[in-house]
Amino acid sequence: MEKVDILINNALIVTMNPRRDVIPRGFVAVRDGKIVDVGSGDGRSKYVAEEYVELRRSVVTPGFVCAHTHFYGLLLTGSPWFGVIEAPSDFQQNLQRIWWALDETLTHEDVYVSALLGSILFARTGTTFFKDLLDAPNVTQNSLDYVEKGVTEVGLRGFAGFSVTQRRSLSEGYEGIAENERFVRKTHANPESKVKGVFTLHASFTVTDDVLIKTKELADKYGTIYAMHLEEGLIDVYHNIERYGKRPVERLRDIGFLSPRFLAIHGVQVTEDELMILKQHDVKIAHNAMSNMINGVGVPPIPKMLGLGMTVGIGNDGYVMDVFENMRSTYLVHKVVNKDPRLMSPLKVVEMATIDAAKALGVHDKIGSIEVGKEADITILVPEFTHTPLDERTVYGHLVNTFNGKDVWGVLVRGSWVTKERRVITVDLDRVIDYAEKVVNRLWDRMISMEVKYKVEWLKP
């Protein structure tokens, strides 16, 4: 009998392969970090394994993929800062009073701690791959190394980019681009890097055409995806119309910025015409339903995008890291806002958190489904209780309607355990919690004692 490293046996397997096969009692065999076999029946009749994983009522899915996050955003949860500021009344004030106040206060240590915490939250709730945007404009140089350090200690994988902006000065845009290029060169040269650099920008209303064009050129040169927030709030639309006489998507098209490797984050305010332009250029979308809700910016036309055959992945925008909460919100919000309960199926939502998110990030040849030859990024769920039968007919409905992150029993990243028996095994969780508490308290003190500028120095056209 053939030898493998891990044999997951007697499980309900949600493959997300092109046929979307769900195997009621099946096995997954893992060797050297790759999936070497997937099938139905007893895997023990074919394989001898170093380790057998055979759990009662387990569901095996691909490791979930997060199309967009900001680890540093986690540092805001429960922050006393909210008690200091006047509550923002729109998206622009939200950025100025909350996000930009936070990111101007960040140190490299804060960045490291946020990546550590974010990776732990992801691993505990089933997400194994992500794309992160860091905005830390006072410590730009080498900042992405601290994202990499936190993620690598936990053992996840993903993409990281510095969120290039020129909201304070034109030159800081080029410093951000230099940091991205430095990190891309460093990580792409090293096959062992768990975090790979990608080119990212904040939004079209905080950067000039030069910076957009330069970013696109570099992404082409290094063959990476590139990502930017697009029409999250109305400020993006107003700014582009005022300064350039056109809407954001039209401006991006006219300077040759759009391509299939561009990941547009949000797209809340896009018009039908802009949607067609995005579709024509095969632009990918990261959808962050819960972030859109908490920011009160509106809801993007995701069902229309899906109807056009566009690729949409689910992200969390640095708000709630549990993919099940984000899937559930994605499932529900489009029904509400369009007053149409037919919109969004459980299967589509699971696709958007696995294979479609992998497509949006350009990594679907390696992860996003359980198929022979793919890397063994696998999530194993063991729900403590399901009130209706859990089988091949019902599993998508359960994943979207009843499961949550606490049902995750373990995750494998390239065949290595990161969580197992519902515990993170790569880092000492108590030590991380104690350390992070100190760092985050210091950050909050600095925010409150510092005179953080709310003012935006608008770009000259």
The residue ranges that bind Zn ion (CB under 5 A) are 317
Kindly list the distances between the CA atom of residue 410 and the CA atoms of 124, 126, 446, in Å, as whole numbers in the listed order: 7, 8, 37
> How far is CA 166 from its chain centroid?
24
How many residues would you count in the chain? 461
User: Which residues are CB-neighbours of 79 under 8 A, at least 6 positions away?
Assistant: 444, 447
Dihedral of the alpha carbons of 232, 236, 241, 242, in degrees to the nearest 10: 160
Residue 393, CB half-sphere, CA atoms under 13 Å: how many?
2
Q: Which is nearer to Zn ion, 67 or 117 (CB)?
A: 67
Q: Which is nearer to Zn ion, 145 or 317 (CB)?
A: 317
Question: Which residues are CB-neighbours of 456 under 8 A, at least 6 positions away?
Answer: 96, 100, 167, 168
Minimum distance of Zn ion from residue 288's CB (angstroms): 7
Of 103 and 317, the one with the shorter C-beta distance to Zn ion is 317
**Closest distance of CB 38 from Zn ion, Å:** 35
Q: Which distant-in-sequence residues (6+ apart) come within 8 Å of 259 by Cβ?
A: 216, 281, 282, 283
- Compare residues 91 and 403 and give the one whose CB is closer to Zn ion: 91
The least distance separating Zn ion from the CB of residue 229, rounded to whole angstroms, comes to 5
| Cα 69 from Cα 76, distance rounded (Å) | 14
Instruction: Find the shortest distance in angstroms from Cβ 294 to Zn ion.
Output: 12
Between 59 and 323, name the residue whose CB sits nearer to Zn ion.
323
What are the structure tokens assigned to 214, written together? 């330069």
The C-alpha angle with vertex 286 and arms to 340 and 61, in degrees rounded to 5, equals 85
Dihedral sign for Cα atoms in the order 266, 269, 271, 272: positive
Task: Report how far residue 356's alpha carbon sits from residue 368's, in angstroms, rounded to the nearest whole number.
Answer: 8
Closer CB to Zn ion, 264 or 343, in the complex: 264
Q: How far is the CB of 352 from Zn ion (least distance, A)?
A: 17
- Minimum distance from residue 293 beta carbon to Zn ion (Å): 14
Spatial distance between the Cα atoms of 257 and 444, rounded to a whole number of angstroms: 38
Closest CB 406 distance from Zn ion, rounded Å: 26
Of 317 and 356, which CB lies nearer to Zn ion in the complex structure? Answer: 317
When CB distances to Zn ion are compared, the closest residue is: 317
User: Closer CB to Zn ion, residue 317 or residue 377?
Assistant: 317
How far apart are CB 68 and Zn ion at their closest, in Å?
6
